Amino acid sequence: MSEAAATFWNQRYRDHSAACSKIGYGCDLVALARRGLAMTGIDPSEEGQHMAEARLAALGVKSVTLLRADFTEAQLPESGYDAMLSHRTLHLMTEPGAAGRFAGRLAAVARPGAVVCIGTRDLRDLDPARMNSHHHGDDVYEYSDRPGHVISYWDDDRFHKTFAADFDIVALEQASELEASDNPVPCYLTIMVARRRPAGEAPPGTSGRKRRRSPPRP
């Protein structure tokens, strides 16, 4: 994520910390750590890290390491993780080549057989009435009423082109959740579940791909 994006999210966390306290950075860490997992959380935003630290301390959750960094540049152990979760962050990687760098770093730190779950905005979430095209690419848009909030929308083909070199994609499912507690409108996502393929192993055929679609957006 760029410095501009980190600055944007620092300000957004400051402006919405109370409204977003139940959905902001750190909630997934708490839920997974309470299931006995040793977690590492990464965010480029100083405000986001402070929010997570406060939430973890208030709830007495200790099996979490927090890093303030860009994931692609963070000091992480090679093949060091059994599972990786990225929820509503991939669509913020809008600069040319950013998604490919993310996928490459993900492959480097995930152990062979590691499970990866990524949730990101898909094309159902694109609202042409609110969005302007952006110079980062054909699938990238900026909110006209939220300057600096730039979104890159995903479809199935893009998931396969980006991740299939190193991951076996087990499922791509459409889902939705509320955008935020202070903006309770649907946020439309595609959830990818994939498994890290051992280095040197050829990708399988397409017969193992699974897909379940939710009803289209009204």
Q: Is the same domain home to 13 and 82?
A: no
Same domain membership, residue 81 and residue 59 = no
User: What is the per-residue pLDDT for 23?
Assistant: 31
- Check whether residue 6 and residue 21 sit in a common domain: yes
Mean pLDDT taken over the chain: 82
156 contacts: CB under 8 Å, gap ≥ 6: 172, 190, 211
Residue 17 has pLDDT above 80, yes or no: no
Beta bridge partners of 117: 85, 193
Q: Return d(Cα 153, Cα 129) in angstroms, integer.
A: 15
- For the chain, state the CA radius of gyration: 17
CB 114 within 8 A of CB 155: no
Hey, what are 59's tokens? 């709830």
Give yes or no: residues 124 and 134 share one domain. yes
20-56 pLDDT per residue, tens: 223 345 778 888 888 888 888 888 888 888 888 888 8
**Residue 123 and residue 172 in one domain:** yes
Q: For the chain, what's the residue count?
A: 218
| pTM of the full structure | 0.80
Looking at the structure of the chain, the number of domains it has is 2
Which range of residues forms the domain containing residue 155?
A: 77-218
* Chosen domain end from 75, 107, 137: 75
CATH code of the domain covering residue 67: 3.40.50.150
Let me know whether 89 and 64 are in one domain: no
134 and 52 assigned to the same domain: no
Q: Tokens for 126?
A: 């694109």
Examine the fold and report which residue of 36, 58, 75 is the final residue of a domain before the chain moves on: 75
Do 71 and 16 lie in a common domain?
yes
Q: Are residues 82 and 1 in the same domain?
A: no
pLDDT at 207 over 80: no
- Do 216 and 165 fall into the same domain? yes
Residue (of 115, 88, 117, 90) closest to 101 by Cα position: 90
CA distances in angstroms from 194 to 103, 172, 173, 183, 208, listed in the order given? 12, 9, 12, 31, 11
**Of 10, 44, 75, which residue is a domain's last?**
75
- Same-domain status, 59 and 93: no
